[in-house]
């Protein structure tokens, strides 16, 4: 297949690039940190700014939607074409916390362009990737001579993704009628690398919990009592050790029930990616690879469920030693889920598993923080093929397919709206999401604009979900 | 065996009880907290006070001995009898920290007598138990008409037991000539209960360490990398879980090498003690008993070596969840040792064991804080029999034998001086060592005085170590 870029699209984008970047910089200056209650006004300012900008872009409807937390932005631009498919773009306008003292070389909320990169908190995650749709739809109209997009275009840009999207499912349910669509396009992910554009076909789900173990009512002297009473730190550790078997498979009975296994075709496609494990380990800041036997690293992070210890604590953690049997210990565990797994069933499996494993004298409590569902679109889905084609035209090469190991609230859209979720992201692994010196590559950002410009026409022609 | 108390001893003690207690209260008012650098002057004041009081008691020699930390007190009272055995009493004049806000009902350094108990930090651990020797030796002289004790009596009262006795081994080595003796009497332990006077025959040793595990160079996202890289918190937990086998025996190869097993007679004696496990669990604030299979609770805490987790930490420990693979984790482990075990060998066994168990990508460091040797005196040792007899006379009943699960610097005396260590303590479990509302039972304290009064004559007659 050959990809034909559209010179009209390219010319339009080139002509509006400077103004587009000026606008994005203005938005990035708003420190919309949803996890920081002191930034609530900034999150609202960010929503208002975006709604105004979408109106200016041409969306006939652009509203700020209230939640019990931070506000979201909704916009709608009907196609006017009879039978046009409806597409909902998802992104978020809130950002992770950032402070110079975390290791930023410049102020995180004073965007700086240097060597073709735009540095700012939110540059890639997710304001840049939300914003490319504004210029994208204008380029689509300019190049096609249309006055409205070829699809019924809806945008839902939430305001608390970085603080857990606590109110997002309710928001989607409350507005399910207006959000009705044929497919969701999530612009909050990345692609393989600068040279290898890819389309993501799924995300892992997530459920995480805290397990508190209680032993003696207070820390007790290990000389007087040690060796004769159960120690909650020991028991916490024994739980963790029992999470995985010797093959590093999760050993909780029922955990793998329903898991959609990788197809041979997917394994082939993964294996064809220019994956350099040494390089990947550098990105991971890890000095070794370790995971479930029988799967490659990419398969492990994209397509296999996991049980991970995010935190463990108990007893004395200060300098030197302290000869105590601690009174309590705590685990923070997260479970990545893949298609076919059910968060509720996994939570129950974890609860059942813990309950049987603790000795007399150790009481426990488990608190799950919630569950995000996994999502997966089959490779041959027509809308997925449209995304791949649009991206191929922008990048001038055939795109490949990946998955995303992380988890996102996009899956709630899949659930509530009952439609497939597709991913369109141009961020690359070096962009530093959630880290100091987050940036976006300007060339890739403009490829995002171009992809968006091609996508609506392609989807209108080919992409309606079966 | 029947025990004959000495009416002259009792009369002398009764006549001097009030002044003795007044003096003790004065000493307890000095907050000699060795762990608090701000209290260094108080620790010195405590040493000076004690040296002056020992001079007043009649010791011809009473000196403050400097260390690189807090000062110790040394006193000496030669017998004058040809061939008299030499006994060194060990105790400490420093105390644990204490503050009303920890839960004290009265000021910890304003001693209060209530219901036959003297409440103050250090009342039992260890000022009260050091101080009973002053009236004890005077009663011994008064009742026997002697002008010097029947043994060459030496006292070494250190000033930093509660902060780890860092300089004690050096101090003992530096003064080994003057400290030379036939036996050490440690007055820094307790007995079974008010109704069951006991003599302790040994203490467990101790070696403790910190194990740091390093994984990724920084916390990394569990969605992007989880399941494919080693997690130091998981590996820390797997180490802990592997510390014990299913019988809760320590599973480190070589750990039990050389362990002196309990004799049948010792097990019988332990079993005869009025041990109420429910009551003991209340004291332990524990809701269950658990330990090495094949041993009773008392055997586990007194006569079996252990591996205990004092602290574990790694990754996120704040509220809620955080989906990371942590970059590091830490363990604080302590190993209680029993006679026959060697701290250095155990440390090496731990190092060897850890080294073989970690996957590629996890680096580790082990730091041992030091080692305290175990000590154990055979039941038939003549000096041990003397202590038991003296205590039997004071209490009017046959005393029983226990051991101490904790560890103390007394073992350094055993090592450097090459003599047996005996224990004479009248504290009971409810005295609250290291806890709020520490107290000593006044009746028991006076039994301690009386025991000391009988001991020197008995030792001179029967007790010379073979
Ligand atoms: Zn994001
Ligand atoms: Zn003590």
- Per-residue confidence band for B463, with pLDDT thresholds at 50, 70 and 90: low
Q: Which segments of B29-94 does DSSP mark as H helices, in order?
A: 40-57
Any idea which residue has 């036959």 for tokens? B116
pLDDT at B3: 77
Whole-number Å distance, alpha carbon A301 to ligand 1 midpoint, is 18
Structure tokens at A199: 């389309």
- pLDDT tens, residue by residue, A277-291: 999 999 899 999 999
Ligand nearest to the CA of B162: 2
**CA dihedral of residues A262, A274, A448, A266 (deg, nearest 10):** -10
pLDDT score of A466 more than 70: no
Report chain A's mean pLDDT, rounded to a whole number: 95
Whether residues B290 and A238 touch (CB distance < 8 A) is answered with no
Q: Are A387 and A424 within 8 A, CB to CB? A: yes
The overall pTM is greater than 0.95? no
Whole-number Å distance, alpha carbon B371 to ligand 2 midpoint, is 17
Whole-number Å distance, alpha carbon A26 to ligand 2 midpoint, is 66
Residues above pLDDT 70, as percent of chain A? 99
Nearest to B394 by CA among B135, B76, B176: B135
Identify all chain A residues contacting B217, using CB atoms and an 8 Å cutoff: 285-286
The CATH number of the structural domain formed by B205-259+305-372 is: 3.30.70.360
Nearest to A239 by CA among B252, B236, B369, B376: B236
Q: Are B382 and B419 within 8 A, CB to CB? A: no
Identify all chain B residues contacting A316, using CB atoms and an 8 Å cutoff: 310-311, 332
- The strand pairing partners of B92, in sequence order, are B158
Whether residues A227 and B336 touch (CB distance < 8 A) is answered with yes
Whether residues A240 and B244 touch (CB distance < 8 A) is answered with no
Whole-number Å distance, alpha carbon A33 to ligand 1 midpoint, is 12
Closest to B322 (Cβ–Cβ): which among A224, A300, A311? A311
Whether residues B361 and A286 touch (CB distance < 8 A) is answered with yes
pLDDT score of B1 more than 80: no
A86-92 and A152-158 beta bridge pairing: parallel
pLDDT score of A334 more than 50: yes
Average pLDDT value for residue range B105-115: 97
pLDDT at B2: 61
Ligand nearest to the CA of A431: 1
pLDDT score of B130 more than 90: yes
Is the preceding omega at residue A126 within 30 degrees of 0, hence cis?
yes
Closest to A216 (Cβ–Cβ): which among B237, B285, B361? B285
pLDDT score of B336 more than 50: yes
Q: At what angle do helices A127-144 and A40-57 cross, to 10 degrees?
A: 10
Identify all chain B residues contacting A336, using CB atoms and an 8 Å cutoff: 222-223, 226-227
The DSSP output letter for B5 is -
Ligand nearest to the CA of A92: 1
The DSSP output letter for B374 is -
Report chain B's mean pLDDT, rounded to a whole number: 95
Whole-number Å distance, alpha carbon B365 to ligand 2 midpoint, is 31
- For chains A and B, count residue pairs whose Cβ atoms are closer than 8 Å: 310
- pLDDT tens, residue by residue, B150-195: 999 999 999 999 988 889 999 999 999 999 999 999 999 999 999 9
Whether residues A236 and B407 touch (CB distance < 8 A) is answered with no
Structure tokens at A82: 């009879």
- Domain-wise residue ranges, chain A: 7-203+375-462, 205-259+305-372
pLDDT score of B415 more than 50: yes
ipTM: 0.85
Residues above pLDDT 70, as percent of chain B? 99
Q: Minimal Cα–Cα distance from A53 to chain B, Å? A: 32
- Min mean pLDDT across A147-156, B133-142, B370-379 is at B370-379
Identify all chain B residues contacting A322, using CB atoms and an 8 Å cutoff: 310-311, 332
Whether residues B300 and A361 touch (CB distance < 8 A) is answered with no
pLDDT score of B257 more than 80: yes
Q: Minimal Cα–Cα distance from A149 to chain B, Å? A: 35
* Pairwise CA distance, residues B297 & B435, whole Å: 23
* Pairwise CA distance, residues A113 & A102, whole Å: 20
Whole-number Å distance, alpha carbon B14 to ligand 2 midpoint, is 27
pLDDT score of A428 more than 70: yes
Average pLDDT value for residue range A15-24: 98
Structure tokens at B422: 């005996």
pLDDT score of B451 more than 70: yes
- pLDDT tens, residue by residue, B274-312: 999 999 999 899 999 999 999 999 999 999 999 999 999
- Per-residue confidence band for B465, with pLDDT thresholds at 50, 70 and 90: very low
Ligand nearest to the CA of B123: 2
Average pLDDT value for residue range A231-245: 98
* Pairwise CA distance, residues A120 & A436, whole Å: 9
Whole-number Å distance, alpha carbon A350 to ligand 2 midpoint, is 45
Whether residues B321 and A243 touch (CB distance < 8 A) is answered with no
Whole-number Å distance, alpha carbon B24 to ligand 2 midpoint, is 16
pLDDT score of A18 more than 90: yes
Identify all chain A residues contacting B212, using CB atoms and an 8 Å cutoff: none
Whether residues A308 and B325 touch (CB distance < 8 A) is answered with yes
Closest to A315 (Cβ–Cβ): which among B309, B315, B405? B309
Ligand nearest to the CA of B433: 2
pLDDT at B466: 43
Interface test with chain B among A312, A319, A368, A431, by most B beta carbons within 10 Å: A312
* Pairwise CA distance, residues A193 & A301, whole Å: 17
Tell me which of B53 and A466 has the higher pLDDT.
Answer: B53
Whether residues B324 and A309 touch (CB distance < 8 A) is answered with no
Whether residues A242 and B243 touch (CB distance < 8 A) is answered with no
Whether residues A284 and B369 touch (CB distance < 8 A) is answered with no
Query: What is residue B440's three-state secondary structure?
Result: strand
Whether residues B311 and A308 touch (CB distance < 8 A) is answered with no
Write the burial class of residue B264 (CB in 10 Å: 0-12 exposed, 13-18 middle, 19+ buried).
exposed
Whole-number Å distance, alpha carbon A92 to ligand 1 midpoint, is 6
Average pLDDT value for residue range A385-400: 96
Query: What is residue A33's three-state secondary structure?
Result: strand
Whether residues B227 and A313 touch (CB distance < 8 A) is answered with no
pLDDT at A465: 47
Q: How many residues does chain A have?
A: 466
Closest to A289 (Cβ–Cβ): which among B222, B229, B317? B229
Q: Are B289 and A229 within 8 A, CB to CB? A: yes
Ligand nearest to the CA of A34: 1
Q: Minimal Cα–Cα distance from A3 to chain B, Å? A: 31
Identify all chain B residues contacting A363, using CB atoms and an 8 Å cutoff: 287
Identify all chain A residues contacting B306, using CB atoms and an 8 Å cutoff: 222, 226-227
Closest to B286 (Cβ–Cβ): which among A229, A237, A321? A229
Closest to A227 (Cβ–Cβ): which among B209, B221, B306? B306
Whether residues A290 and B321 touch (CB distance < 8 A) is answered with no
Interface test with chain B among A308, A330, A411, A438, by most B beta carbons within 10 Å: A308
* Pairwise CA distance, residues A182 & A86, whole Å: 5
The string of DSSP letters for B94-129 reads -B----GGGT-SS-TTS-EEETTEEESTTTTTTHHH
Q: Are A248 and A240 within 8 A, CB to CB? A: no
Pick the CATH number of A7-203+375-462 from 3.40.50.2300, 3.40.630.10, 3.30.70.1060, 3.10.20.30: 3.40.630.10
Average pLDDT value for residue range B419-440: 93
Ligand nearest to the CA of B164: 2
* Pairwise CA distance, residues A373 & A22, whole Å: 37
Closest to B228 (Cβ–Cβ): which among A218, A234, A291? A291
Identify all chain B residues contacting A292, using CB atoms and an 8 Å cutoff: 227
Whether residues A312 and B309 touch (CB distance < 8 A) is answered with no
Nearest to B189 by CA among B180, B204, B199, B181: B199
Interface test with chain A among B205, B212, B226, by most A beta carbons within 10 Å: B226
Residue B80 φ/ψ, nearest 5 degrees: 90, -20
Vertex A453: Cα angle to A449 and A459 (nearest 5): 130
């Amino acid at each position: 297949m050959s990809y034909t870029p559209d010179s009209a699209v390219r010319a339009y984008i080139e002509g509006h690039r400077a103004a587009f970047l000026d606008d994005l910089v203005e938005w990035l200056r708003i420190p919309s940190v949803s996890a920081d209650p002191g930034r609530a006004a900034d999150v609202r300012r960010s929503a208002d700014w975006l709604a105004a900008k979408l109106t200016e872009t041409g969306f006939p409807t652009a509203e700020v939607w209230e939640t019990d937390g931070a506000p979201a932005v909704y916009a709608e631009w009907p196609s006017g074409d009879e039978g046009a498919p409806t597409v909902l773009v998802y992104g978020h306008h809130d950002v992770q916390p950032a402070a110079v003292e975390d290791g930023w070389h410049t102020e995180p909320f004073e965007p700086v362009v240097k060597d073709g990169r735009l540095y700012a908190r939110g540059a890639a995650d997710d304001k840049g990737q939300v914003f490319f749709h504004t210029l994208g739809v204008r380029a689509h109209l300019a190049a096609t001579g249309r006055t409205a997009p070829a699809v019924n275009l809806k945008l839902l840009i939430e305001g608390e993704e970085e603080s857990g999207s606590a109110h997002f499912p309710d928001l989607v349910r409350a507005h399910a009628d207006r959000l009705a669509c044929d497919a969701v396009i999530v612009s909050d992910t990345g692609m393989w690398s600068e040279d290898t554009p890819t389309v993501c076909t799924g995300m892992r789900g997530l459920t995480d919990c805290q397990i508190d173990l209680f032993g003696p009512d207070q820390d007790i002297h290990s000389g007087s009592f040690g060796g004769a009473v159960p120690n909650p730190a020991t028991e916490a550790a024994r739980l963790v050790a029992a999470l995985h078997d010797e093959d590093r498979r999760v050993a909780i009975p029922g955990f793998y029930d329903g898991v959609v296994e990788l197809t041979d075709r997917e394994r082939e496609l993964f294996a064809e990616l220019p994956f350099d494990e040494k390089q990947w380990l550098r990105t991971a800041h890890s000095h070794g690879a370790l995971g479930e036997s029988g799967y490659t690293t990419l398969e492990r992070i994209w397509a296999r469920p996991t049980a991970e210890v995010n935190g463990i604590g108990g007893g004395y953690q200060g300098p030197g030693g302290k000869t105590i049997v601690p009174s309590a210990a705590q685990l923070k565990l997260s479970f990545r889920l893949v298609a076919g797994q059910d968060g509720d069933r996994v939570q129950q499996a974890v609860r059942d598993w813990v309950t049987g494993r603790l000795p007399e004298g150790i009481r426990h409590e488990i608190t799950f923080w919630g569950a995000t569902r996994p999502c997966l679109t089959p490779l041959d889905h027509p809308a997925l093929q449209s995304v791949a084609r649009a991206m191929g035209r922008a990048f001038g090469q055939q795109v490949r397919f990946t998955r995303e190991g992380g988890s996102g609230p996009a899956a709630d859209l899949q659930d509530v709206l009952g439609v497939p979720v597709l991913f369109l992201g141009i961020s690359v692994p070096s962009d530093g999401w959630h880290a100091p010196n987050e940036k976006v590559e300007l060339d890739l950002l403009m490829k995002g604009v171009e992809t968006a410009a091609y996508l609506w026409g392609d989807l209108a022609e080919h992409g309606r979900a079966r």
